Structure 1
């Protein structure tokens, strides 16, 4: 694409346009410049004659045999009217030519930015208008060349015909100019969009250049601080060819593509700059996490060693169903801690080699392993604590669950004579489920863990019913 220019090389605004296929008569203009018209010309000729000849000429001029009347007469009136028509046609021609030049700049602006179907239609319509302009211009120039209004022997009939042809040419030029103006008005949205994009182009390219410069400066500062930034340097190097394309300009790559490239380069360079400036802080953060996770791993090693005594007490005091799922906790905890320590060593190596992404990923793995170990170790001690509490006084758990059921039942009956089956059925089922769980406590070795899981499940079911009732009444 090519960008629009405000004027053509070597062509001034007021210059006469030589259109393709259109011949302009130069003889007419040269004749008008070469000799004065009418009586003034005759007077100048006479003054240049020798005195005897001048005397004879003047004598003949005032006699009845003069070659041309200087003033008055129907021919002179028609000549003047034809000249006025010629001047009006010339003015219309100039206005049309000027409008076409201005519109061509607008079309070139649009085509430099927009390749949409609407833009292509506008180009085609402008070409059709250009063909019509050439036709009416040719009609005008033909009319001008066909009549020499400065001829001495111009008669009234010829002058009248010249006036008619020149007036017709002027009317055609004027109508074409009006059509051209209407077409230009219709280009408003396309032209506005194109001008907006062109106005964005230079600032966008400059922002991209400044972002690249800032990223380079930040990267140099990191290296001077003794930190490696090979990954960032590689990413910055990949933006080099993009900068070259930006410098080549929109004329080679197109305005939309150049705008998109400039915005992408600015965005990527800004990301590199932010990461480079944050690198010292990131290194310090990784150092802190290495120390913190190592301390946590050591603490979990100690806690994992305390799981076995907890399991021994669970085995001694409660049925197998209360502790079987915890049997492998000590082994899994030890294995997780060993894996965490191995990953910590790898993370330390990656930190020393300044492989920041690898160090960060390894530390995340260590944290996940330690979290899992913490949960399993805590589960054993929590299990013993809860079983001790329910074995000592199961009624507290029973009352807590019954209260939740009764509260939900009151809510279900509020404002109703009979409860909604969708609410009543799960609440009735919860009552039966609780009763069966309580019955399971009878016997020599009750399964307290099953009791606790059942009451917890009942409370969750009741909570879902309460939530459903409130949603329905809130939306009513």
Structure 2
């Protein structure tokens, strides 16, 4: 009686061990299945967004892992089906085999889940990028549509003010095909492409809105510049007419070399004024047609022509003034130049007994050039313009030596 009860207890214990093994395997199967479902959601997210080579390798790796999961899951199910641990006639051997096979099935399930977790960690950066893109999708689409609405409203306001803005309207209309694709959504065009399309639509619509908002002020500015440049053209036309008397005085009082290069200034100035007047009329016509870019370009041309006239007229008057000054007192120009040379010489000698030859030579030559320029004025018809040009060149030489000395000392070369 005692022996029979001992065998019964041993059988009961093995049945319990088998049940525990079965429960552990079922738990491992459940955990693997849950982890797989979660991973498949992540994979679908990556697949919808990422088209990189890295993503393609990751998806290929997932397929291999999925095959492995299917294998161990099928093996687990076969093992459970093969062992009925609840039957009354479960003997010692059958219970032992059930325990061993269920434990192996559980271990395989756990090992594959470890592989799954490792794979999940490796694909985490891809998933993060994909989720970021997905998180941007809805806001990007909404921002694009709001930007289009704002641009459309800005255009309506501009038109209500009497401005056509046809080019802006054309740019906005050109976004219609892209808006259609945006509305078709990521399912057809992909998440990444849809986000990029939304961003592109938003940027272009915002640019249209900004230009539409500026258009009334631009129109006012063009109107103001038309008036201002008209006044300037008229004033410079009058100034250009004054060049002829200036040239007449230059011819009367100074040698040919002093004014020969200015001979064409009156005609060039008059021609530039005429061209400016014609271009200004074209700018007015473009403004009336609301061709803003063309009007702005024409006004820029007028401004450049006026700058040229201003420079040419100013050069003639400046020439006469400078020649008058130097003809009255050439020594003032000489002293001004000698001062620049002496200043350079003092710097070259600073902290030295002898100047550097590469500094001394150009300064010595500058002194000689100044003396020769002054001597050239002793003729019957002195070329005062050549004198002024030479003294300016001499001062430039001295200033260049000063710059070289300072650069050398700053670099520790002297």
TM-score by length of 1: 0.83
Secondary structure of the structure 2 residue equivalent to 1:271: helix
**Paired residues, number:** 409
Gaps in structure 2 of 5+ consecutive residues: none
CA contact (8 A) 1:82 1:163 kept: yes
Specify the alignment match of 2:215 in structure 1. 279
- TM-superposed CA distance for 1:431, in Å, is 2.4
User: Aligned ranges for residues 301-312 of structure 1 at < 5 Å?
Assistant: 301-312=237-248
Alignment partner of 1:366 out of 279, 298, 302: 302
| Structure-1 residue corresponding to 2:341 | 405
Say which of 213, 218, 223 aligns to 2:149: 213
Give matches, 1:137-148, under 5 Å: 137-148=73-84
Distance 2:159 2:78 in 1: 77
Q: Distance in 2 between matches of 1:437 and 1:252?
A: 84
- Of 174, 179, 198, 2:134 maps to 198
3-state SS of the aligned residue for 1:115? Answer: coil
The C-alpha deviation readout for 1:280-325, integer Å capped at 9, x for no partner, is 1111111111111111111111111111111111001111010001
The answer to whether 1:247 aligns with 2:183 is yes
1:86 equivalent in alignment to 2:1? no
Write the distance in 2 (CA, Å) between the matches of 1:419 and 1:168: 97
The CA deviation string for residues 65-114 of structure 1, in whole angstroms up to 9 with x for no partner, is: xxx99x94322221111111011001001111111111122222222222
SS at match of 2:378: coil
1:152 paired with 2:75, answer no
Whether the 8 Å contact between 1:310 and 1:380 is mirrored in structure 2 is yes
The correspondence of residues 416-431 of structure 1 with structure 2, limited to 5 A, is 416-431=352-367
Deviates more, 1:84-93 or 1:133-142: 133-142
CA distance in 2, matches of 1:124, 1:190: 14
Deviation at 1:143, TM superposition (A): 0.8
Task: Give the 3-state SS of the residue equivalent to 1:82 in structure 2.
Answer: helix
User: In structure 2, how many angstroms separate the alpha carbons of the residues matched to 1:233 and 1:399?
Assistant: 67
Q: Distance in 1 between matches of 2:131 and 2:247?
A: 78
Deviation at 1:279, TM superposition (A): 1.1
CA separation in 2, counterparts of 1:418 and 1:129? 86
When the two chains are superposed, the root-mean-square deviation of aligned CA atoms in Å is: 1.8
Which is helix-richer, 1 or 2?
Answer: 2
**Is the Cα–Cα contact under 8 Å of residues 76 and 156 in structure 1 kept in the other structure?**
no
Q: Structure 1: any 5+ residue segments left out of the alignment? A: 1-63
Distance 2:31 2:357 in 1: 87
| Structure (1 or 2) with the larger CA radius of gyration | 1
How far apart, CA to CA, are the structure 1 residues paired with 2:54 and 2:357? 63
